[in-house]
Structure 1
Amino acid sequence: MNNMIEVENLCKNYPSFQLRNVSFSVPGGSIVGFVGENGAGKTTTIKLILNEIKRDGGTVKIFGLDNIRDECKIKEQIGVVFDESYFHGEFKAGDIALILKRVFRNWDDALFGEYLLQFKLPRNKLIKEYSKGMKMKLSIASALAHHPRLLILDEATGGLDPIVRSEILDIFLGFIQDENHSVLFSSHITGDLERIADYVTFIHEGKIVFNRSKDDLIDQFGILKCGQQDFQKVDKSDLLRWHKTGFGYEALVSDRNLIRRKYPGAVIDTATIDDIMLLYVKGEK
């Protein structure tokens, strides 16, 4: 399977933050969820992938092409949605179509119109009069209307109610039904990623913690819960992270079935992506 995005040892240095040797890939025909706490480096990584800021090291390839040398050719084939709409408030949806049809050779007016109808977006209403959710839906419609091969989404479902979010997620799932389309989806709504992602890439303090199959995470990771006495008997090499609670300890393990066999009678729950992130960020090791 060909990779749509290949990031290798990507670095960016700021006075108070460093992105350090970030490496991951987005396979064709997949949705990769990109997660991490605020300030972990998600948006910085996305801006580097899009060549919006200058990197200090590493390489980025999209469709096998260098993201700097072949920037125009690449951007013709990608759709991007950020967490805020950057369309001028005095424009209308019809104006956006007029502008973008001059930017993208594959712009499809009919498809854009279909999305406006599906999302219930008035073509002749000023964008400044749209709600936040309507602005986000307009950004998604605009990103999809030129038939991109790759979608890059930074909090693209933020501000949307659960019904509309579900509708959008179905569109993303339909988008990747062949190996010629992929999605890189940064989101704080990890429930959305648990529903549609094939892989999860977790970044923490500017470094990649893991890039794993979502099914492996959900099927294998677990939370060991025990009192202080039992916790002292646990081999700490079996634990990825742990923290003390009001009732004892909670610890993250990478193979809950193995831990069940090793510690019969122990309470081991399944771990959500939120659980995994929280223990990595707040837990001890």
Structure 2
Amino acid sequence: MTNLLEVTDLTKEYGHFSLDKLTFQLPEGFILGMIGPNGAGKTTTLRMILDMATPTSGQIKLDGQTSRQTRLADRDQVGIVLDNTVFPDGWKADKIARTLAMVYQNWDGDRFFDLLKEFDVDRQVKYKSLSRGSQVKLNLAAAIAHQPKLLILDEPAAGLDPIARDQLITLLQGFIADGHHSVLLSSHITDDLAKIADYLVYLIHGQQLFFGETQTLLDRYAVVKGGLDQLTGVIKQAGIGLRTYETGFSVLMARKQLSALPRDLVIEPVSLDELMVYFGKRVAKDEARA
């Protein structure tokens, strides 16, 4: 199995923030989701992978290239949509297509306009006059139409309605279907990631909490619920993101710890969204203590 992206012990030091020793891989034919709260370091990580920011230490191997110069020379193999991706306000789709045809050797204008039609984006409307959702769709079409091996997307579903998000999911699944293309995407829409991401990187405040298969992460934890009289010291100590109510409590726990709990507690599978909320509560609690 060939990795299109390898990140090893990647760090970035700012005055107010540090990203600490991230290590993950993205093989051909798979989708890697990057999750975490705002300020976790997701965009910083993407910027370093794209050589838009310089790591303090660590290594990035992109499509086999380990140096900044060789990665930039091979940039045609990467399709990019960042949260701030924009084209000039007055450009229409035809102008964008003509310009990108001069930039990318493998530009496929027919594919670009087919995607715009599929996404219901009016090619006669200036970029500035398109809705936020239509701008995102156009950016995605442009990123895919030069036939890259790897798509790197930062919040690609932002501004998209449910129908368009479903189209995006279908598009990305089709993109990797041949087993030689891959997608790295950062998104807050965890329901979508749970559907399509084969692997996940989970960041909290610059720390890598998890890297591995999506289902492995979800299978690792469960939500435990019960009455306040069932809230033992073991649960308080081992639980993550404890919530208490007038009628009871809920908490996230590792499944390997469930055998020590009373049998009459309610045990439920955890969603990706719930997992992030519970871990977020633990981080907030730890910060309040610091």
Contact 1:27 1:182 in 2 (8 A): yes
- TM-superposed deviation, 1:99: 1.1
Contact 2:35/2:42 (<8 A) preserved: yes
Letter of the 1:215 partner, please give it.
Q
Q: CA shift at 1:240, angstroms?
A: 5.4
Q: Deviation digits for residues 35-65 of structure 1, max 9, x if unmatched?
A: 0000110000000000001111111001221
TM-score, length basis structure 1: 0.93
Preserved contact between residue 225 and residue 268 of structure 1 (Cα < 8 Å): yes
- What pairs with 1:228-267 in structure 2 (closer than 5 Å)? 228-234=228-234, 239=238, 241-246=240-245, 247-255=247-255, 259=258, 262-267=261-266
Give CA deviations for 1:125-181 in whole Å, capped at 9, x if unaligned. 211110000000000000000111101010001100000110111000111113311
Per the alignment, residue 111 of structure 1 pairs with: 111
Q: Quick check: 1:252–1:279 contact (8 Å CA) kept in 2?
A: yes
Report the counterpart of residue 44 of structure 2 in structure 1.
44
State the 1:263 CA deviation.
3.3
Structure-1 residue corresponding to 2:277: 278
RMSD over aligned CA atoms reads 1.9
Does the 8 A contact of 2:251 with 2:278 survive in 1?
Answer: yes
Match of 1:269 in 2: 268
| More helix as a share of residues | 2
Q: Residue by residue, what CA displacement relative to the aligned partner does 1:165-222 show, whole Å, maximum 9, x if unpaired?
A: 1011100011111331111110000011011111111000001000121122334421
Partner residue in 2 for 1:79: 79
Superposition deviation, residue 67 in structure 1 = 4.9
Measure the CA separation in 2 of the matches of 1:229 and 1:11.
45
Equivalent position amino acid for 1:212 in 2: G
Whether the aligned pair in 2 keeps the contact of 1:90 and 1:126 (CA below 8 Å) is yes
Give the Å deviation of 1:244. Answer: 3.1
Task: Provide the rounded CA distance (Å) in 2 between the counterparts of 1:282 and 1:46.
Answer: 25
Partner of 1:136: 136
Structure 1 residues 95-174: aligned runs within 5 Å: 95-174=95-174
Alignment map for 1:48-63 (pairs within 5 Å): 48-63=48-63
CA contact (8 A) 1:190 1:274 kept: yes
Q: State the SS of the aligned residue for 2:123.
A: coil
**Any gaps of 5 or more consecutive residues in structure 1?**
none
Instruction: Give the paired residue count.
Output: 283
- What are the ranges of 5 or more consecutive residues in structure 2 without an aligned counterpart? none
**Where in structure 1 do 4 or more consecutive aligned residues deviate above 4 Å?**
none
CA distance in 2, matches of 1:163, 1:222: 31
Match of 1:16 in 2: 16
1:109 is displaced (CA, Å) by 1.0
CA separation of 1:84 and 1:58: change in aligned 2, threshold 3 A = same
Q: Could you tell me the TM-score, scaled by structure 2's length?
A: 0.91
The amino acid of 1:254's aligned partner reads A
**Paired residues of 1:116 and 1:123 also in contact (CA < 8 A):** yes
